[in-house]
Structure 1
């Protein structure tokens, strides 16, 4: 008898819901505006879509400057590849960005030497907010059979968040980052309004899942939002370790 009462109640509830929908039309829940803009996708995952800003197409460094001096960037460009020149320092984009989608490919040499952090070290600063290594760093490092602290390996948000997996390819192979960056916002008095957030796909594997950053990268001490800023350049690091310099290619960004 108890089961019959439960079944009756369920059927009655369904009848009520059906009655509540009486007179409704499919078009009541259809949305026709705003119409998304048409974007022509690249033929491959590496090729920039039609609305992207191409930051490096293999030909020149016209979109980049030296961080310290603001003069034209002087890293090495050859055969469609951009190689770090450690003697000239970090470079950053001429243009500033807020929220964006970034695609960038990187490779450490097949003959890479060194261990730990001294093995193909570089970084992608998702927002450069000062000279030197100031900003929010997505770590670049040879993490293929190379032990180091896990919040400093490839795919980490340096000294903050450990990657969810380690899909690093062997030295001499190209690695791919696809990044969704949501810039922090600040109140009129300079205090934090909303923190930065980032999602990172590393060789097609999710390694950072819409995480909330604790602030800009801090090599020593705890990070925190101590400096209000707006749209910022994207910066590539010329790390001071003595291992062979790594290379980049196919760098493009879509403003969101």
Structure 2
């Protein structure tokens, strides 16, 4: 609104009658951002990091580092995470480093992976790791925290003038090697073999009725057969479309999962979570009836099943899922687009029950040639009652 940002006397200024958000053209993943800011009394602004430039700076669009006149009486009773240099609403800063309105402040934001460090006038005010967050409410209300790249933005909130100068950014993003996990994650596939994976035996209710001896024998048989069809070729899991799902040996509860996948024309697959179908993968052109695109919770009936947007790359090109599951809620990004936002995943196998509290990750067989790589998982400690758990 208003006149937006203007350049005055070598300064970048958001006037009191200005507003709006101003973003870099370039996207940044890991970086150091240094700048000076000066607030008029009551000034309020912010720095958006890893933003997609859509919507609010503090929800799905990006994460905000607050810029605020902490000394203004109008801000005397804010929440701790709303003060200057805080990760807005989530991580409160150490206070006392800010200079009064009318004076210049020097701020530096360092973001590497999920670790963020903020200094103000030479004093460290934030040193935190987003991966330590376990509160389900944060996962539900702030999906932008988990973005790994995006634009840097200046967020004009008003009601007073805010000036900037000496804005410098150093891009620290490094190319990642295939099948090497990012910090905080472990690899479910090392690019060499299928250690940690097994063949599928029936479904969860059927497996629950089997004795340990019966299940072990059936698993050994299923795994031997699966390894004839699921193979590792040049650092990629390849599947000939002629067997069944490939499952992790380990069961998982709450987690963040990264998966790169590729399909052939008219291909069909999915990612099972806790042994339940599924985050959908399919070709988005006829004759497959998938014009909505991949990423939706296909088997939901009562809750949304389609993705919010279509974000697929064409068959033959790689796609990336980022899937977060906390309790019975699932959030999915496809190629950095938010396609499922905190949706309840239903129990396909037992419709009258909630999703199982734990279960394997599965790569779905649906008769298509498939390719997978860069499969990484970060387990999220539970601080709440898991869905399906007894009191």
TM over 0.5: yes
Q: Write out per-residue CA displacement over residues 182-212 of structure 1, whole angstroms, 9 at most, x where no aligned residue.
A: 13xxxxxxxxxxxx11111001111001112
- Superposition map of 1:81-160 within 5 A: 81-109=236-264, 112=265, 119-128=266-275, 135-144=276-285, 148=289, 153-160=293-300
Q: Write out per-residue CA displacement over residues 164-189 of structure 1, whole angstroms, 9 at most, x where no aligned residue.
A: 11111112100111111113xxxxxx
Q: Answer 1 or 2: which has greater strand percent.
A: 2
Q: Write out per-residue CA displacement over residues 71-117 of structure 1, whole angstroms, 9 at most, x where no aligned residue.
A: 345112101111124333111101111111100011113xx3xxxxx
Using the size of structure 1 for normalisation, the TM-score is 0.66
1:70 aligns with 2:219: yes
Give the Cα–Cα distance (whole angstroms) in 2 for the partners of residues 92 and 62 of structure 1.
11
2:184 counterpart residue number: 51
2:362 counterpart residue number: 235
For structure 2, list consecutive stretches of 5 or more residues without a partner in the other structure.
1-71, 78-82, 84-91, 95-124, 133-147, 149-172, 202-217, 381-391
1:211 counterpart residue number: 343
State the secondary structure of the residue aligned to 1:70: helix
8 Å CA contact retained: 2:347, 2:356: no
CA spacing shift, 1:89–1:208, aligned 2, 3 Å: same
Match of 2:234 among 62, 79, 85: 79
Give the Cα–Cα distance (whole angstroms) in 2 for the partners of residues 178 and 35 of structure 1.
22
Where relative contact order (Cα < 8 A, 6+ residues apart) is larger, the structure is: 1
User: Deviation at 1:65?
Assistant: 0.5
Using the size of structure 2 for normalisation, the TM-score is 0.45
Give the Cα–Cα distance (whole angstroms) in 1 for the partners of residues 131 and 284 of structure 2.
38
Give the Cα–Cα distance (whole angstroms) in 2 for the partners of residues 18 and 171 of structure 1.
58
